[in-house]
Amino acid sequence: MRPGGITDKGEMTPANPVDEGQVQGRVVYLLVLVSLVHFIYPITLQWPGAATIIIYNILYVAMFGIGIWIVGEHRHLRVLTISTAVIYFAFSVLYALEPTNTGRILVTYLALIPFQAAIILVLIRFMFAARRVNRDILFAAVTVYLLLAAIFVPVYGILEVIQPGAIVDNMNSGALVVWQQLIYYSLVTLTTTGYGDILPVSPWARALANAESVIGVLFIAITMARLVGLYSQHED
């Protein structure tokens, strides 16, 4: 039976089914890398210098590699992830050589957005194409949740570069909010924790924060409904 056909029971099959084999057993590696990048990044504020940039570029090389591996069967997404990876690493090296060059940091931010969006798309399709709950589905759900926070980080970063002061850190008044702080801020916003130490000031920053908060709540609600539904079907 071809994709998009009808089964013997008269049920429609999806036009573009996800190849579960390309996600199963692989997503856990992406989860580990995404967790490392996001949870230890704020600590590196205490380790300024080229060494920190090199360490994170190594982590990003691994993360991009796993991401390309996961989307490998999707030709268009594979082209997108590979091209954005090349652009990101080229400009991240150039940025490391000249950290004050805002044009280079903007390009690195822009390259991350489509890459993360492609991974999120593949994982969500995998979650909703699954027929039963297993550990890969759970790993995928957690990874998508973290990537939702991740995809807002470069968006906030672009806004902060274009409009300095759009986001303010009350602990470092007047200082530019850097990447590590934006990761922390994005995770706090996605989870609706809202400590109030870093605040969106400009209208655009507040609009983005509102959108991220709503997306975070909706994702948890929809994912829980999906997992409970899959579990109930399997039990029946």
| CATH code of the domain covering residue 228 | 1.10.287.70
The SS3 of residue 114 is helix
For residues 94-106, give the mean pLDDT.
81
For residues 224-229, give the mean pLDDT.
86
Residues 6+ apart with CB under 8 A from 189: 149, 152, 209, 212, 213, 216
pTM comes to 0.83
Q: Is the pLDDT of residue 4 over 80?
A: no
Q: Is the pLDDT of residue 6 over 80?
A: no
First-to-final CA distance of the chain:
26
- Residue, of 40 and 10, whose pLDDT is higher: 40
Q: 7 in a domain, yes or no?
A: no
User: What is the b/e burial string over 18-41, where b = at least 16 CB atoms within 10 angstroms of the residue's CB?
Assistant: beeebbbebbbbbbebbeebbeeb
Q: 161 in a domain, yes or no?
A: yes
Domain that holds residue 41: 21-235
Per residue in 105-131, pLDDT tens?
899 899 999 999 999 999 998 888 878
In the chain, % of residues over pLDDT 70: 82
**CA-based nearest residue to 49, from 103, 96, 10, 95:** 96
Q: 15 in a domain, yes or no?
A: no
Total domain count, the chain: 1
Q: 126 in a domain, yes or no?
A: yes
Query: Highest mean pLDDT: which of 106-110, 129-133, 178-182, 212-216?
Result: 212-216
Q: 10 in a domain, yes or no?
A: no
Per residue in 18-71, pLDDT tens?
555 667 778 999 999 888 888 876 667 666 666 666 777 778 788 888 888 888
Q: 8 in a domain, yes or no?
A: no
Q: 11 in a domain, yes or no?
A: no
- Residue, of 204 and 96, whose pLDDT is higher: 204
pLDDT band at 218 (very low <50, low <70, confident <90, very high): very high
- Residue, of 233 and 181, whose pLDDT is higher: 181
Q: 40 in a domain, yes or no?
A: yes
Residues 6+ apart with CB under 8 A from 156: 167, 177, 182, 185, 186, 205, 208
